[in-house]
Amino acid sequence: MLPMCARIRLKPGSLPRVREWAAHLREHRAEALRTLAAEGVSIESVFLDSSADGDFLVYYMRAASEAQARQAAQASTAAIDDYHRAFKRDTWAQLTRLELLVDLQCEAGPSPQGDAGPADTARARTDG
């Protein structure tokens, strides 16, 4: 699975719509997960970054193939995908792909750091 990350500048004044979209996805979680599976996406996380420069979404995902995921999403006729396409048109101003510097992934099982969480484990491995 390949990791991908992007930073999306939001159009001014779109935060209420962003929060509505996030609530909609949570309410329609099963449908959203079905479409992700059809796209070959194993994880999709979205974070809000608000600063003096504006409001941004930071999208993180893992997919078997970025091209396959994009093609499947564009071809989808699922209501949740129609909703997402409208959301993007209404709120996204600019998308910037972020450079991958490190990608660490633990296998399921006990943490090598004892009770440390995933973030602590990754930090322990990269801090040297």
pLDDT digits 0-9 by tens, 28-64:
999 999 999 999 999 999 999 999 999 999 999 999 9
Locate all alpha helices (DSSP H) within 1-128, ordered by sequence: 15-27, 29-39, 66-75, 79-91, 118-127
Mean pLDDT of 63-92: 94
Its sign, for the CA torsion 86, 91, 94, 95, is: negative
Residue 108 pLDDT class (50, 70, 90 cuts): confident
Average pLDDT of the chain, as a whole number: 88
> What pLDDT does 128 receive?
43
Q: Which domains does the chain have, with CATH numbers?
A: 2-97 (3.30.70.100), 101-128 (no CATH)
Question: Could you identify the residue written with the tokens 């930071």?
Answer: 58
Q: Report the half-sphere exposure of 75 (CA within 13 A, side-chain side).
A: 8
- Give the dihedral of Cα atoms 27, 30, 35, 40; nearest 10 deg: 120
| 91-111 burial code (b ≥16 CB/10 A, e <16) | beeeeeeeeeeeeeeeeeeee
Q: Report the half-sphere exposure of 57 (CA within 13 A, side-chain side).
A: 24
Give yes or no for residue 107 having a pLDDT over 50: yes
> Tell me: the pLDDT tens digits for 95-105?
999 999 999 98
